[in-house]
Amino acid sequence: MKRILFFHDVFPCGGTERVTIDIANNLSPLGYEFFLLTCKKREDIDNIRVIELSDPDRNSQSNAEVFIDVINTYSIDVFVLPIHVLKHIDFIIEQTHCKLVFALHSIPLWEAIGKIPTKQRRARHSLSKRIELYLFSYPRKWLGIYDRRVLKLHDKIYRKADAYVVLCEEYKNVLLRRLKLPVLNNKFRVIPNSEQAVEPVSCNKKKKVLFVGRLSYADKRVDRLIDIWGMIYQQVPDWELVVVGDGEEENALHLRVMEKKIGHIRFEGFQEDVSRYYREASVLCLTSTFEGWPLCLTEAQINGVVPVAFDCCAGIHQILAPSGVNGILVPPFNKQRFAKTLLKLLKSPEQLAAMKRNVLLKAEEYSPQIIGQKWMKLFESLLEEK
């Protein structure tokens, strides 16, 4: 058996963890055994042996020793580390003999891109935080200090890793350029995220616009969607906006709706199973500042839901392009343009029906079988080297 270890802070949790489950489900029958270390285990998962760490701090020295023990005890062949670079990764690699794969499940340099929005949110109700934002944070951003720190981190993990997985070709090109790496003979592998087929796709679509995801400020910016909906909801009185998810912005978003007296909007909170929302919705909206490969867009497509999103990153562009066929791309971050585009779509049942057919065809590209083969090819190449 070929043994693969993954790490996730919380498991299962969101889209990244679901991709791990897809990989395990598709490769387990092909001679692969999967293990997973996590700081918080929510439930057992078929085809994955989940081991919960006793220390909630993923970067603790004690956890690093557990990583080493698990890798050596179970003769792990490949360790896949998604998103986060562990503080003690050098120590772990030195004490083990497995191959290391780093998987960037977001946009390159997301840590630096999200720094200022996070600080802006904290500064809303704090004078000292606002002073810090203007005197220190903005100058550091303008001087490129945040970018340099993140580049140094990813240069380190690139050199330690045996393979570095990105979600699309453009992300690879960005990192090649920013890290000053050779175009040929580099460690990058392009593997998009998978999406499970839905059988059958619901034909009983209702007049519902959907958002699914974390209610976070740095990246998701659901406040923009609230404002956009406020511009148009009175012109489409038989439509409803349904927000599914929870997070740090939840109370602020509720307050925003009440202050602006926006109607026809419903907050559903966190839901373990979001399939029923996709079955009923006709349109999904995403107004993020940055994303890697947003699974809500591919989930929408595979359910016959038409996605509308700001064209803010290569991952979104690849999923929805060409605009008007596989979804609609709106120039970032023009809320008036987004509102006008969404309103036109909601009033065009023929366009919605045509795009529903298109997105279902597009979604076939994300088959777990196709994506699983890409991961297997990567694992096999590393095992040959080993």
| pLDDT at position 385 over 80 | no
Q: Could you say which DSSP state residue 235 is in?
A: G
Rounded Cα–Cα distance for residues 222 and 119 (Å): 17
- 255 plus 286 within the same structural domain: yes
User: Who has greater pLDDT, 232 or 125?
Assistant: 232
Among residues 304, 293, 244, 247, which one has the least CA distance to residue 268? 244
Q: Are 253 and 226 in contact (CB under 8 A)?
A: yes
Domain membership flag for residue 31: yes
Q: Distances from the Cα of 161 to the Cαs of 54, 89, 98, 101, 188, in angstroms?
A: 26, 10, 10, 6, 10
Rounded Cα–Cα distance for residues 12 and 18 (Å): 7
- 182 plus 268 within the same structural domain: no
- 184 plus 313 within the same structural domain: no
What per-residue confidence (pLDDT) applies to 381? Answer: 95
User: Who has greater pLDDT, 295 or 285?
Assistant: 285
User: Who has greater pLDDT, 350 or 203?
Assistant: 350
- 337 plus 380 within the same structural domain: no
Q: Are 103 and 125 in contact (CB under 8 A)?
A: no
State how many domains the chain has: 2
- CATH number of the domain enclosing 331: 3.40.50.2000
Domain membership flag for residue 379: yes
Whether the upstream peptide bond of residue 333 has omega within 30° of 0, thus cis, is: yes
Rounded Cα–Cα distance for residues 385 and 362 (Å): 35
Rounded Cα–Cα distance for residues 296 and 269 (Å): 16
- 165 plus 298 within the same structural domain: no
DSSP 17-38: HHHHHHHHHHHGGGTEEEEEEE
pLDDT tens by residue, 5-15: 999 999 888 77
Domain membership flag for residue 312: yes
Residue 277: domain span: 208-366
- 376 plus 362 within the same structural domain: no
Q: Are 313 and 292 in contact (CB under 8 A)?
A: yes
- 46 plus 36 within the same structural domain: yes
Band (386; pLDDT cuts 50, 70, 90): low
Rounded Cα–Cα distance for residues 51 and 291 (Å): 29
Percentage with pLDDT > 70 across the chain: 100
By mean pLDDT, which of 182-186, 237-241, 378-382 is the weakest?
182-186
- 280 plus 177 within the same structural domain: no
Angle at 292 between CA 243 and CA 121, to 5 degrees: 60
* CA end-to-end distance (rounded Å), the chain: 15
* Average pLDDT, integer, range 55-59: 93
pLDDT tens by residue, 133-146: 888 888 888 888 88
Band (115; pLDDT cuts 50, 70, 90): confident
Angle between the N-to-C axes of helices 335-346 and 222-232, in degrees from 0 to 180, rounded to the nearest 10: 60
Rounded Cα–Cα distance for residues 94 and 383 (Å): 18
Domain membership flag for residue 290: yes
| pLDDT at position 361 over 70 | yes
Among residues 311, 314, 318, which one has the least CA distance to residue 107? 314
Q: Could you say which DSSP state residue 134 is in?
A: I
- 240 plus 372 within the same structural domain: no
- 227 plus 354 within the same structural domain: yes
pLDDT tens by residue, 307-357: 999 999 999 999 999 999 999 999 999 999 999 999 999 999 999 999 999
Rounded Cα–Cα distance for residues 323 and 308 (Å): 9
- 174 plus 189 within the same structural domain: yes
Domain membership flag for residue 188: yes
Domain membership flag for residue 136: no
Domain membership flag for residue 198: no
Residue that the structure tokens 């366009």 belong to:
351
Q: What is the H or E stretch that residue 152 is in? A: helix 145-160
Q: In the predicted model, what is the mean pLDDT of the chain?
A: 92
What per-residue confidence (pLDDT) applies to 331? Answer: 96
Domain membership flag for residue 339: yes
pLDDT tens by residue, 31-54: 999 999 999 998 889 999 999 999
* Average pLDDT, integer, range 119-124: 81
- 96 plus 228 within the same structural domain: no
Q: Could you say which DSSP state residue 183 is in?
A: S
- Residue 106's φ and ψ, nearest 5 degrees, are -155, -170
